[in-house]
Structure 1
Amino acid sequence: MSPSSYLTRRRFVKTTAVLCASLAGAGALSACASDEAAAPEADSAPEPEPSAEPAPEAANQADTPAEPEPEPEPTPAGDGNVLVAYFSYPETTEASDPANLSTEEENSAVVVDGQIKGNNEFMADIIARETGADTFRILTTRSYPADHQGLIAQAQEEINAGDRPELAEPIPDLSGYDTVFIGYPIWWAELPPVMHSFLEQADLAGKQIYLFNSHGGSGNAGTKEEIKSILADATVSDDNFVVSRDAVANSEQDIVDWVRGLGF
């Protein structure tokens, strides 16, 4: 309130008080008291004058249509925690020379910075690097021969018997993972028996699954369909990565392109 308005108001109150005093004898004091109580205090902000015109802001709100809610962006494949679980068995021994591997050793392993890695371990490391994933290597309490002929003989025996080898390490808590990459070699155009042990014990319901494998000429060999059947409560992608064991060492860029094509 401006000083002039304040003085005018004080003069009005004073005049009213005098008038009420003169009317006291006439019994009009109660009416005067009611008027004085209804008057705003001196330091109150004045009420705005009513106006037929809407306030500019209100007018703008009335004239401007409400903007539609933006549609949510699709969730990228890499959103959320990722795990790479894999079985890898290089046909090497502690005596194997990284600089001088035999043909069979080279078919099952890749040398990285002087370190021998199994084919699927090599692929798992690249996937984990590109996605920021955790890794879990599937191991069994059974031992396998390092020589190729001995290995395939034992693998065939296990497959024919429908074996489920015992896992050497407990499966980690999978509840925090939205996406799981699963890698394995192809043995006799089949899943290695230890992969059945893992798939049948792991709680992968509701998760997005991507598969990758190395093979000796049989490609997927029907393993994708088999895994879909085992993991009926998960979403198993048809876009899996398949590479010949002879070409794994030169497959890094192909793996990177595949992972990025999935949306990571």
Structure 2
Amino acid sequence: MSKKTFLSRRRFVKTAGVFCASLAGAGALSACASEAAVEPAPEPETQVDPEPASSPETEPEPEATPEPEAAPETDSEPTTAGESVLVAYFSYPETTASSDPNNLTEEEENSAVVVDGQIKGNNEFMADIIARETGADTFRILTTRSYPTDHEGLIAQAQDEINAGDRPDLAEPIPDLSQYDTVFIGYPIWWAELPPIMHSFLEQADLAGKQIYLFNSHGGSGNAGTKEEIQGILSDATVSDDNFVVSRDSVANCEQDLVDWVHGLGF
């Protein structure tokens, strides 16, 4: 599959309300079917009739049985799990409607990727790639709570929420999950923890019996034990050990690694 071109972080257009951030463990946010022609059925091996024994009267040769027609070539349907896969993600870029596409701050660049002139949060960027490769539906996890876009203000509010054990309200209802067998879940790492809104989603979503794959962006703390934490919350689901973890500084260049990971899962 050819890789789509995703442009530099420094070429983009404004978008409002698309956000992703990830907090580093030490006080920084982390932001970041082939056409298989069906082979025709093989023609039966031709039987060669033996020469008849000589006799004054030879019996007429039996009428030859016509050979069966070969099965017509057909294109097989591509094998995808698109109808049973969901990508659910929380993404919060530290950008505003007035962010200058040609002059992003360092924190804006760390928390967002520019694709075809559009700013995407780090985890939104990855979610779109996963959905493209699997044919999945997507669900963006949003909260009714407002967050500041300046880095210092954001990490301060995130720390307060984590310390208080907050469960922010979801802004959109969780879709009917009964139609999905596999769910990819994406999020930034905040203070080496799951963002509080992720707890709200995981505690309300009925993911029993689902196959779960995780992907996240971080600022230095890696997976930060979130796989084990999510497995504890989703005790009736299967949370894979094979998850995609990337530094927020490298998200813009992770597309091929992400595609390889998705294909390695069997998609």
Output the TM-score relative to the length of structure 1: 0.70
Q: Structure 1 residue aligned with 2:159, among 156, 161, 164?
A: 156
CA RMSD of aligned residues (A): 1.2
**Equivalent residues in 2 for 1:232-251 (5 A)?**
232-251=235-254
Q: Structure 2 residue aligned with 1:220, among 215, 219, 223?
A: 223
Q: Structure 2 residue aligned with 1:84, among 69, 82, 87?
A: 87
Q: Which has the larger radius of gyration?
A: 1
Tell me what 2:119 maps to: 116
* CA deviation profile, 1:133-156 (whole Å, cap 9, x unmatched): 000000000010001110000000
For structure 1, list consecutive stretches of 5 or more residues without a partner in the other structure.
1-75
Greater relative contact order, per chain length (Cα 8 Å cut-off, separation 6+) = 2
CA distance in 2, matches of 1:253, 1:84: 18
**1:93 and 2:92 matched:** no
* CA deviation profile, 1:70-109 (whole Å, cap 9, x unmatched): xxxxxx9948510000000000000012232111000000
Q: Structure 2 residue aligned with 1:137, among 132, 140, 147?
A: 140
For structure 2, list consecutive stretches of 5 or more residues without a partner in the other structure.
1-78
CA distance in 2, matches of 1:127, 1:79: 11
**Equivalent residues in 2 for 1:188-207 (5 A)?**
188-207=191-210
Secondary structure at the counterpart of residue 218 of structure 1: coil
Q: Deviation at 1:168?
A: 0.3
CA contact (8 A) 2:216 2:244 kept: yes
Structure 1 or 2: more helix by fraction: 1
**Equivalent residues in 2 for 1:149-188 (5 A)?**
149-188=152-191
Q: Structure 2 residue aligned with 1:261, among 246, 256, 264?
A: 264
Letter in 2 for 1:212: F
* CA deviation profile, 1:56-76 (whole Å, cap 9, x unmatched): xxxxxxxxxxxxxxxxxxxx9
Q: Percent identity?
A: 87
> Which stretches of structure 1, 4 residues or more, deviate above 6 A after TM superposition?
none
Instruction: Provide the aligned length of Structure 1 versus Structure 2.
Output: 189
**1:103 and 2:127 matched:** no
Tell me what 1:126 maps to: 129
CA contact (8 A) 1:87 1:138 kept: yes
CA distance in 2, matches of 1:254, 1:116: 21
Q: Deviation at 1:126?
A: 0.2
